[in-house]
Amino acid sequence: MGGAWFYWVSFSFRFYDLRVLIPLIIFVFAFGYGVFFWLIGSLQKSYLRALAFLGFSYFHPFGFNWFVPEVTLVDSFFDFTKLKFAIFLVAILAMLELKRYYKLFFIPLLFLSVRYENPSYIVSAQKIYLASRNIPQDKKWKEDYLDTILKDNFRIINKAIKKKYDIVVLSESVFPLYLNSRVDLINKLLKLSKKITIVTGSLYSDGKNGYNSTFYFIDGVFYVANKVVLVPFSEEIPLPRFIAHFINDYFFKGAEDFKMAKKPTDIPINGELFRNAICYEATASRLYEGNPHLMIATSNNAWFTPSIEPTLQHLLLRYYSRIHDTTIYHSANSGGTGVVQF
């Protein structure tokens, strides 16, 4: 289960010249999650196994939270809030434990765990263009490919202007540089923002630290929303600093961890408030504090394609969208672009 659910994590190592580690990473996930499933299965009482399985959805090793058991119910008749999932497990427990016709008592419990109501979504009144890109990860950060990417970015923006959209959203780090250091690009985007609101992913530097960020160009002014929840062992090493430095130097060619913002950013666009989310953090409960009605999310899934990762991400986005009644406008590179509602 662990290997099948998370084999794709290893694919990112292709771009660090560490393909040799791919089997090891898959084994680590398979073995690690296998141990926890074995521990749950070793419990003698069925009700203890049910409680442990429910608790498993709160278990996030090193902050990695993409194992959510109840996400398997997203496309079923059953609800997947924590309460309904608990009722669902109790129904299964009754079916396993009760004798003979007493098992019929599990049927009413199943009905209690069925989803009846629909989320009360609010949608944007603005016309939003979500750009879908397929920039190969092995080319994205190469200097000789930069002009091609930049030309395509501006082509998409001008296309959205021509089609009378109010907002155009480009994917995570689609400007593969520290955008605030390029005055020429900033000025060009500011000029275009008089015609359309531009939302785009890039990197931001404050002179000391680097951030994975989203830039909002609105009517001649730009704002920066920095990422709040970083990807473990990719954007940050969640280990003591001396170990993190060693891993970054040895495996990631001396790269430094990104810094993170202290809290989620809400950006007002033409009277509507959008919560900003960048890829992994769009599947983190912290980004949904206050139950935002509208969210703009950007992703770069080229690290992991071809794999199930964009599908799993989409399921998780639908899961959080349902839990928090949030409409998510998602622009992704290599799969996943679209408006996400349950």
Is 70 labeled as catalytic in the residue annotation? Answer: no
- Write down the catalytic residue from 172, 235, 236, 281: 172
Pair 211, 226: CB distance under 8 Å: yes
Q: What is the CATH number of the domain that holds 292?
A: 3.60.110.10
Could you state, in chain order, the average pLDDT of each consecutive group of 10 residues for the chain (342 residues)?
91 88 93 90 90 84 85 91 90 85 82 84 96 94 95 98 98 97 97 98 94 98 96 72 62 70 96 97 95 97 95 96 95 96 84
Say what the pLDDT of residue 252 is: 60
Per-residue buried b or exposed e for 74-102, using 16+ beta carbons within 10 Å of the residue's own CB: beeebbbeeebbebbbbbbbbbeeeeeee
Pair 84, 78: CB distance under 8 Å: yes
- Write down the catalytic residue from 70, 140, 259, 279: 279
Number of domains in the chain: 2
**In this structure, are 256 and 315 located in the same domain?**
yes
**In this structure, are 166 and 310 located in the same domain?**
yes
Say what the pLDDT of residue 9 is: 92
Give the structural domain span for 187. 128-340
**In this structure, are 99 and 226 located in the same domain?**
no
Residue 122 lies in a domain: no
The DSSP letter of residue 255 is P
Nearest by Cα to 109 from 137, 132, 82, 78: 78
Kindly tell me the burial class for residue 282, based on how many C-beta atoms sit within 10 Å of its own C-beta (0-12, 13-18, 19 or more). buried
Is 172 labeled as catalytic in the residue annotation? Answer: yes
Say what the pLDDT of residue 317 is: 97
> Amino acid letter at 251?
F
Say what the pLDDT of residue 251 is: 61
Say what the pLDDT of residue 104 is: 82
- Write down the catalytic residue from 70, 140, 227, 235: 227
